[in-house]
Structure 1
Amino acid sequence: MVKVESFELDHRKVKAPYVRKCGTQKGRLGDIISKFDLRFVQPNKGAMEISGVHTLEHLLAGFMREKLEDIIDISPMGCRTGFYMTVWEDVEAEKVIEALNYALKKILEVEEIPAANEIQCGNYKDHSLKLAKEYAAKGLEEGFSSEVFR
């Protein structure tokens, strides 16, 4: 099996919540992408409910792009402790934290979930705005750090 960067991280030593820059890659044509770990929950100590993760995914997709226009993708982690995000260019974690805090504050204000319908979503019945707001509030209260091993 090919070496996978996230499998090299000692999940027992990290301190969530955090934003970790996993690294940058340069494409064949010279394009640069940066990958980030947006960790909401301490690994192996808890997990977010899937309906809340799904709703956070929808909300972060729009609100994060209001501050970071070069986002390629934001995807939930299978372990349900956070999200992976990829962006064009070499972006620093502090800039991502700024955009994440902005997005989480906006999430606390919303009344409906964007694209939560049969046409735009592959599992539109499995959402929880209540949980998404709880996760957003908790993240803002605890504060995201770029120091992964505090």
Structure 2
Amino acid sequence: MKVESFEFNHTKVKAPYVRLAAVEEGPKGDLVAKYDLRFITPNKGAISTGGIHTLEHLLAGLLREELDGVIDVSPMGCRTGFYLIKFGRTPLSEIKKALENALEKVLKAEEVPAANEVQCGNFKDHSLVDAKNAAKMVLEEGISLFEFTD
């Protein structure tokens, strides 16, 4: 079994960063790119479950406002960041700018979108405070570009 994130040496990186983790070409030539949006250095901490859940809800919409072709924004199980899946390959500098813009909007958010019983499978597990704290930390530390090599 080959899973990119299992092959990646998590001890060699320092967050926050954005990284192109993989590019897949579909049978009709469509490119799908997977980006690692790392907020916290692996094995050095984690975002609370409520905080990462709230960031997931916020970033799902905000990154779609910033970038074309977004398929999904998913939290990592380790709670150190997110995977952004989108059509086409976008320069890391554009991904970084989109994430910075989205996190600036997180800091201004007054409510969590879709945080209700109808639209969310665990609507009581949110923390806007923790989400804002994580966004603030990433913006203050600055996001680096982790270059992908083919």
Q: Decide: shared fold, TM above 0.5.
A: yes
Segments of structure 1 that go 5 or more residues without pairing to the other structure are none
Q: What is the CA-CA distance between 1:90 and the residue it aligns to?
A: 1.4
- The alignment's C-alpha RMSD in Å is 0.9
SS at match of 1:37: strand
Q: 2:48 aligned with 1:10, yes or no?
A: no
Amino acid at match of 2:146: E
1: CA distance between counterparts of 2:31 and 2:49? 31
Q: What is the CA-CA distance between 1:23 and the residue it aligns to?
A: 2.0
- 1:99 paired residue number: 98
Amino acid at match of 1:68: L
Amino acid at match of 1:137: K
SS at match of 1:12: helix
1: CA distance between counterparts of 2:20 and 2:132? 25
- 1:51 paired residue number: 50
- 2:139 paired residue number: 140
* Structure-to-structure mapping, 1:102-113, within 5 angstroms: 102-113=101-112
2: CA distance between counterparts of 1:52 and 1:90? 28
Aligned 8 A contact 2:18 2:143 in 1: yes
TM-score (norm 2): 0.95
* Structure-to-structure mapping, 1:73-88, within 5 angstroms: 73-88=72-87
Amino acid at match of 1:80: R
1: CA distance between counterparts of 2:77 and 2:22? 20
Aligned residues: 147
- 1:28 paired residue number: 27
Amino acid at match of 2:48: E
Amino acid at match of 2:22: G
- 1:37 paired residue number: 36
- 2:61 paired residue number: 62
